[in-house]
Amino acid sequence: MNKSFNHALGVSFAALVIASEAHLLAQEDEVAEARSHPFAEAATETTDRSVADTATIHIGHCAALLGEGRIRAALDEPTSCDFVDTPLDDVMAYLEDKHQIEIEFDRRALDDIGIDSMAPVNLSVHGITLRSALHLILDDYDLSFVIDYEVLLITTIEDAEYRMSLAIYPVHDLAPSDAEMDELMEAVLATVSPLSWDEAGGGCVMRSVGKALLVSANCEIHEELEQVLAGLRKVPR
């Protein structure tokens, strides 16, 4: 890992810790407000503190976080489509309109591998997530997607692997002690794309900050990590 990245990651620690503390304080305010409401019982039932305290905090351009959150939510929405030799450009326009998100092409990256946005798509699916549908569509052309500057950007797999973003994952419920934090990190390194981490010579980085994980990784790794942590939270402790 080069010195400039080490420096950037070190500088980011303080910002991420501040963001994490602000996030949890905001959640505490919401809980307090709910409990003071005339319908406090109903309100507190809908304010799941365990979920709030373990929500992933994506760090980036502050003005873009809300838009990027909408895209992440849309990726988990069910979708349906029936494409027969439909140009890729038209396919993305359809999904953009259906899910009300911005989708753009990294045309320079596509040009580099000789892929035209008019390439034909053949796919008929119903009731799967938008995320899965996109993978089925793009895999045929060695393409992928990332969330960048409030848009879902269609790019090459290679380019997506090198587009890193920072996020902090509160894990106090999974690793309340230092020993359990070490065990959790070892489990993540062994199960989430093991060759992608800096320990194995990859470009993704994970460090513990208090009772949270600070992760610099590409979109795919972040998705895998969120799924692993969600699965661990379902295991009786």
- Domain coordinates of the chain in residue numbers? 3-53+164-233, 74-161
pLDDT at 66: 58
Residue 18, sorted as left (phi over 0), alpha (psi -120 to 50) or beta, turns out to be alpha
What's CA 128's distance to the chain center, in Å?
18
Pick the CATH number of 74-161 from 3.40.1190.20, 3.55.50.30, 3.40.50.300, 3.40.190.10: 3.55.50.30
Helices (H), the chain: 3-36, 40-45, 49-53, 65-75, 88-99, 107-112, 130-139, 157-162, 178-191, 219-233
**Dihedral over alpha carbons 6, 229, 182, 162 (to 10 degrees):** -20
Q: pLDDT at residue 61 above 50?
A: no
| Helix, coil or strand: residue 210 | coil
Entry pTM: 0.62
198 secondary structure, DSSP code = G
Do 153 and 109 touch, CB atoms closer than 8 A? Answer: no
For the stretch 190-222, pLDDT in tens is: 999 999 999 888 889 999 998 999 999 888 898
Which secondary-structure segment (H or E) carries 153?
A: strand 151-156
CB neighbours of residue 176 within 10 Å: 12
DSSP bridge partners of 143 = 156
The chain-wide mean pLDDT, for the chain, equals 79
